[in-house]
Structure formats: C-alpha cells, structure tokens
C-alpha cells in the first residue's frame, strides 16, 4: 500500500514528506493506522546527526497512537479494531528481563530494532523498490506502520489518540522515572532539572507518589508555570548556582531524589551534586550528545549519593502503559495541558522548529 511518511534523507537536512510503500504484516506483526504522533526530542536528536546510533534513510517517529487494521499469522496480543500505543521499548513477557521486576529492557528483538529492522531482519517500508529502515522499530511519522505485536500497548478506546501519543515516550519516561525507577517515597523532597515533557512527567509522577516537596528548575518561566500546574511546590530559573540554591532551600542537605531531563552533561552533574548526602538518588533521564562524558568527583558517591539511569522510565510497555493511561482517564494526569500544538504530517519540520525554540511542551501530529 502507498502511504505518506516523513523520511530522514540525510542528517542535518529537513525531513521530506513523500509517498512510500508499506507491505503487509508478517507473522507476529500488525498493521497500525496512525491517528496521532508526538514530535519528540529523540526524533530531532537523530535527525541532527548527534545520535551515534542514528541511521538514514529511514522513516522517523516513535510516539504513536492508532488502531490495529490487520494482523499477521500467529498474532494473539492484539486484534483488528484495538486501540494501541506504539512502543519503542517492547515487552515480550518471556525473556529474562521481562520476567524480572528490576528492568523493562526486553531482550527479544533489541539487536534488529537497534539496526532499523523488524524482528526477522527485514523492513516493510520501501521507496522505488529500495528498503527504508524503521526508526526505533516504530516509524510513526506516517499514515500507517507495521510493528511487532510485542511492541504494542492496548489501551481504552475512550482515550483520545492525541493524548495517548505522549505516553509512547516522553510522558511515560518521566512518570516512570519517578514511580518505577526512583520509586519516590511519600513525603520526600524532589528536585527536577528541566521541565520539558519528560521533566514534567517526573513532576507528575512525584506528585502521584506523594512527594512532600517538588522543586522544578528550568530556563523558561512558561515551563515553570506548567510545572506548578502539574504539582511542583517550588520553582526557580535554572542557573550555574542551582546546587547551592537547592541546598540552601533544603536546610543544607539537598533533595532526596533528583531527576535530570535535559540531556546536558553539566546539568546531569548538578542533579548528582544536588542529591542529598547519605541517601540521595539522582536519576538521569536525558540523552547526552555524541562523545560527551559525565565527570563526577568520587567523593559525591562515597558519601552515599547514588546515580542511576532510566530507559523509558523503567515502564514495562504492554502491562504498565495502559495503567498510566487509566490514571489519565481517571483525572490524575492533565494530559491536555501538555499538548501545546496540534499539527499535520506536512508540518513536521515546523514541529521541530517549535521544539528547537522551546515553544510549548509537546507538538502532536494528528492524522485525518
């Protein structure tokens, strides 16, 4: 079938919306009609060439929400008509990592997915007969996509697609970082560095966990206003002396939990330094640029601070994303306030421009 999709032709160049061919799903796969797709920083990061694991040409996009249209042989997890969220972090439910409560890093299809292919090592996308690779196993900057059934989270049909899309990456990453990776405790003091979608998700997740104080830092006053709306008790414009300010605000101790959501290694260091001596936990959510290093003075750690990373917030996609969506539908998460721009597929490069100048929180592509 012929579909419209946004193709990354070469790094550093605008995406090109064009017709490509998408072939039928094979065994274990499903054809998804996309209804909405978030424009995530990871897409822009890859398109820029800064991602050391990036590849082109490919169809970008990974924050997708849609409806199953057809399925291949042996598919049992979804059926035509199901409303789904696409998962760059699949959950096979059978590998050693899926069976462990300690991680969400499914092993089943990782190697092929990282290389831009579906599990059998081939693609379903073609242009003039030449294969195009799948971005993060999803390729949702398109009218339709084909994905493995283990990379689809079935959600309530009552959940609007535009609101579902951010749960496919940014929002779940922030929520999960607080709820599943750090496991913020009731009454704790939390500091969040960066109030884009991931950082705001960490603010919301900390509120849901019952944190007593949530301090948000960002360069943008409008994003700090968003942080206050979603549960931050204190906000401040980020600066070079943020660590000293945070310590002063917390009686000289620092925060019990800190979250970094910027991808800036200098801010990552601030998040570690601002964590409380003896038990503070710094969770790194951002992705640094190619070749960048996080340098830490060992005394920061030998005095008891801990540092951890998080992938998709530690969220097990097929089982836990639907639970997060239910919390949205129950009124615990104000997703509508996080969607700042609704655009068409043809406006994808404008979506990147909005993100580059930090205009709003999340742009979402809506498909007719």
| pLDDT tens digits in sequence order for the chain, 368 residues long | 999 999 999 999 999 999 999 999 999 999 999 999 999 999 999 999 888 888 999 999 999 999 999 999 999 999 999 999 999 999 999 999 999 999 999 999 999 999 999 999 999 999 999 999 999 999 999 999 999 999 999 999 999 999 999 999 999 999 999 999 999 999 999 999 999 999 999 999 999 999 999 999 999 999 999 999 999 999 999 999 999 999 999 999 999 999 999 999 999 999 999 999 999 999 999 998 878 999 999 999 999 999 999 999 999 999 999 999 999 999 999 999 999 999 999 999 999 999 999 899 999 999 98
Task: Give the list of residues 6+ apart from residue 298 with CB closer than 8 angstroms, or none.
Answer: none
Q: Which of 29, 37, 40, 138 is catalytic?
A: 40
Active site (annotated) includes residue 110: yes
Active site (annotated) includes residue 37: no
Q: What pLDDT does residue 112 have?
A: 95
Active site (annotated) includes residue 63: yes
Active site (annotated) includes residue 230: no
DSSP string, 136-202: GGT--SBSEEEEEGGGEEEE-TTS-HHHHGGGGTHHHHHHHIIIIIS-PPTT-EEEEE--SHHHHHH
Query: In terms of Cα–Cα distance, which of 86, 92, 8, 85 is closest to 54?
Result: 8
Q: Which of 4, 69, 95, 347 is catalytic?
A: 95
241, 247, 249, 255: CA torsion to nearest 10: 120
Q: Which of 58, 98, 164, 195 is catalytic?
A: 98
Q: What pLDDT does residue 290 have?
A: 79
Q: Which of 46, 58, 91, 106 is catalytic?
A: 106
**Rounded Cα distance, 253 and 256, in Å:** 9
**Taking a C-beta distance cutoff of 8 angstroms, is the pair 311, 284 a contact?**
no
Active site (annotated) includes residue 106: yes
Active site (annotated) includes residue 195: no
Gap between the terminal Cα atoms of the chain? 17
Active site (annotated) includes residue 40: yes
**Rounded Cα distance, 42 and 32, in Å:** 22
Active site (annotated) includes residue 21: no
**Taking a C-beta distance cutoff of 8 angstroms, is the pair 105, 316 a contact?**
no
Burial class of residue 28 (count of CB atoms within 10 Å of its CB; 0-12, 13-18, 19+): buried
Region class of 49: left (phi > 0), else alpha (psi between -120 and 50), else beta: left
Q: Which of 37, 92, 164, 195 is catalytic?
A: 92
Active site (annotated) includes residue 92: yes
Active site (annotated) includes residue 223: no
């Amino acid at each position: 079938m012929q579909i419209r999709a946004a193709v990354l032709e070469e790094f550093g160049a605008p995406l090109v919306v064009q017709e490509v061919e998408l072939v039928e799903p094979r065994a274990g796969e499903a054809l998804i009609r996309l209804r909405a797709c978030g424009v995530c920083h990871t897409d822009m990061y890859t398109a820029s060439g800064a991602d050391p694991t990036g590849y082109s040409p490919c169809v970008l996009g990974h924050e997708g929400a849609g409806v199953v249209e057809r399925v291949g042989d042996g598919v049992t997890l979804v059926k035509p008509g199901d409303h789904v969220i696409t998962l760059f972090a699949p959950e096979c439910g059978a590998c050693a990592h899926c069976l462990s409560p300690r991680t969400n890093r499914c092993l089943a299809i990782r190697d092929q997915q990282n290389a831009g292919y579906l599990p059998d090592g081939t693609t379903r996308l073609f242009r003039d007969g030449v294969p195009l690779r799948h971005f993060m196993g999803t390729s949702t900057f398109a009218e339709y996509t084909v994905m493995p059934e283990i990379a689809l989270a079935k959600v309530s049909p009552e959940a609007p697609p535009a609101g579902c899309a951010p749960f496919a990456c940014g929002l779940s990453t922030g929520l999960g970082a607080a709820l599943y990776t750090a496991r913020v405790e009731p009454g704790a003091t939390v500091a969040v560095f960066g109030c884009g979608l991931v950082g705001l998700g960490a603010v919301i997740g900390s509120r849901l966990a019952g944190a007593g104080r949530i301090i948000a830092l960002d360069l943008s006053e409008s994003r700090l206003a968003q942080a206050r709306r979603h549960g931050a008790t204190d906000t401040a414009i980020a600066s070079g002396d943020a660590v000293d300010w945070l310590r002063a605000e917390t009686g000289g101790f620092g925060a019990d939990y800190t979250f970094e959501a910027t991808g800036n290694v200098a801010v990552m260091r601030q998040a570690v330094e601002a964590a409380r001596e003896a038990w503070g936990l710094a969770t790194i959510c951002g992705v640094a640029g190619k070749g960048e290093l996080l340098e830490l003075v060992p005394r920061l750690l030998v005095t008891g601070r801990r540092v951890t990373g998080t992938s998709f917030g530690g969220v097990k996609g097929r089982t836990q994303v639907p639970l997060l969506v239910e919390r949205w539908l129950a009124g615990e998460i104000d997703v509508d306030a996080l969607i700042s721009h609704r655009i068409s597929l043809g406006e994808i490069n404008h979506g990147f421009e909005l993100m580059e100048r930090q205009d709003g929180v999340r742009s979402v592509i809506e498909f007719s």
